[in-house]
Structure 1
């Protein structure tokens, strides 16, 4: 029996393999009694946990189109659960195929199609201590009783960005759209659960400022609006980050939140302080929370970093914001009025 064999010629394309391996050993406590803890509840009365935090491997590159100042580009990125979490080794992260327009060798515009973070989620990425027990997503994008619902990726999406440079400043104007933002296996994208977003990012020297608005139509995040702004400023050994958001949806996802972080680099060490605050949601009382964290990172080499971090979320009487929610495989939940906390040590390898 004959068999056709097909090979892909990559002689005219670039291929970059990259990734991040992140493992952390943590002690987590939901602030609850042992009698309240059940398997699968996400509650803990004090346990040690090993987790793989957003570990990933990716492949990306460019391919010539034969048209002047126009190139195709691609990315395939997969989560790798190094701890064997749920027996699920791979899960799709930002993956897409796109076209990029150049002007004098510099990207002037680009369009991507595939699966990607929302624009508001990307704005939140300016925060520090990401993918640790102190990740901002325990408060930012989360509800007082439902956990994080806003920081997502969009399926079946188109993302276009136009770049404007003037002197030392660079501005990126972006728009994102999906006819069926959650899933459409074997069916036509019929606009029943659509998504749309707009955003702008401005960079000049050590300053980055970003603003985005996400809108989810129907689906699991029915008619949810998220407006998020962030600023990151680096000056010498200091880095400061400020975030603010307005989340509008029914129930506990109708509230405002903000946060601030400050970091000082001292040789191979980086000390980071962080606070995030969620206000009570509309029509409720005592549903606010404050998350405070302190971390230290040590750069071992250009690709290897170790860290230690402590975090505590103080919930008001009717709130149960999680202690750990986002970027960490082992989340930490709590019950109303309790104050979850966690301490963690981790190692991160980037390549």
Structure 2
């Protein structure tokens, strides 16, 4: 049975008509389909390509329980709309189940570490060639995780990810303290301090800030990372900005890690609430590699 049939069966089960408890259950099927045409030079001459930029489909839901408890889940898969086919077309992303109450929430499965999620929406080139993961460590989605998020107290929230090591390696963890709303809807300011302890071989400390004023959004991050295997220490920082004018959004982002850097600019145009056209240009300069640059034009559809 292919993975697509597996996903279809899960979807049918979730959407199948239910009994009297249906009112206490909330679930939905969603997707983010993002594809771009690239004109690229990665050090060996210019070429063109079509890229599926972390396109994904998923199912998420929540069920009310007794005692002010609720159970929630998320099952998400990445799909490649451009290159890969067959079973290689689908790979696992965040997949977990958890409980939520007035004491916070706890979830188990495979999911992004709290250091990774501490970036919120600051990365304006997320999933594209200017994504922060191309220069920084810490963008991890490990298996065998237990994540706890506390209730918010005056917009402050503490969270942590424990990563079980199994029989062959030591357990590790990620921790974060955040202030405000990561979506910048409930509060115009978001702040976070986060750390990884030997996650994927690195110790990392990260500071993040995001601020919205009228039609402007500004973001900043700083990171220190140390490789456990040889003690290599590196520091980097990032600045981003976005300005919205009607259906248009103008974006700019600069990122460094020691002598490595990248500079990106992007322009989005909304055709509808869930559909946009976009174009971007990214220049990346790494000391150990040839200079690289990308020019892209794409479309994104969400539902």
CA distance in 2 between partners of 1:62 and 1:314 (Å)? 44
1:256 aligned residue (223, 235, 256): 235
Structure 1: gaps (5+ residues): 1-6, 33-44, 103-107, 142-149, 181-188, 280-287, 321-334
Deviation at 1:85, TM superposition (A): 2.3
Deviation at 1:291, TM superposition (A): 0.8
1:210 corresponds to:
192
The C-alpha deviation readout for 1:301-344, integer Å capped at 9, x for no partner, is 110011100011123xxx23xxxxxxxxxxxxxx3xx2110100
Deviation at 1:240, TM superposition (A): 0.4
Distance 1:95 1:253, change over 3 A: farther
The C-alpha deviation readout for 1:52-79, integer Å capped at 9, x for no partner, is 11111111111233x2201111110111
Distance 1:64 1:266, change over 3 A: closer
Query: Does residue 1:49 correspond to 2:22, yes or no?
Result: no
CA distance in 1 between partners of 2:120 and 2:273 (Å)? 21
Moved over 3 A (4+): 7-11, 250-253
CA distance in 2 between partners of 1:273 and 1:252 (Å)? 33
The C-alpha deviation readout for 1:26-72, integer Å capped at 9, x for no partner, is 0110234xxxxxxxxxxxx111010111111111111233x220111
Is contact 2:216-2:241 (8 Å) kept?
Answer: yes
| DSSP-derived class of the 1:133 partner | coil
Deviation at 1:243, TM superposition (A): 0.9
| DSSP-derived class of the 2:142 partner | strand
Deviation at 1:192, TM superposition (A): 1.1
CA distance in 1 between partners of 2:18 and 2:168 (Å)? 37
| DSSP-derived class of the 1:134 partner | coil
Query: Does residue 1:239 correspond to 2:217, yes or no?
Result: yes
2:70 corresponds to:
71
1:176 aligned residue (161, 175, 178): 161
Is contact 1:133-1:344 (8 Å) kept?
Answer: no
The C-alpha deviation readout for 1:89-146, integer Å capped at 9, x for no partner, is 21111110100004xxxxx5000000001111112343212112221222222xxxxx
TM-score, structure 2 normalization: 0.86
Query: Does residue 1:228 correspond to 2:206, yes or no?
Result: yes
C-alpha RMSD of the superposition: 1.9
Distance 1:253 1:239, change over 3 A: farther
1:197 corresponds to:
174
2:105 aligned residue (107, 110, 115): 110
1:154 corresponds to:
142
| DSSP-derived class of the 1:93 partner | strand
Pair member with larger Rg:
1
1:30 corresponds to:
42
Distance 1:239 1:30, change over 3 A: same
Deviation at 1:165, TM superposition (A): 3.0
1:138 corresponds to:
134
CA distance in 1 between partners of 2:105 and 2:271 (Å)? 36
| DSSP-derived class of the 1:128 partner | coil
1:339 corresponds to:
291
CA distance in 2 between partners of 1:89 and 1:130 (Å)? 21
Is contact 2:51-2:83 (8 Å) kept?
Answer: no
CA distance in 1 between partners of 2:267 and 2:230 (Å)? 36
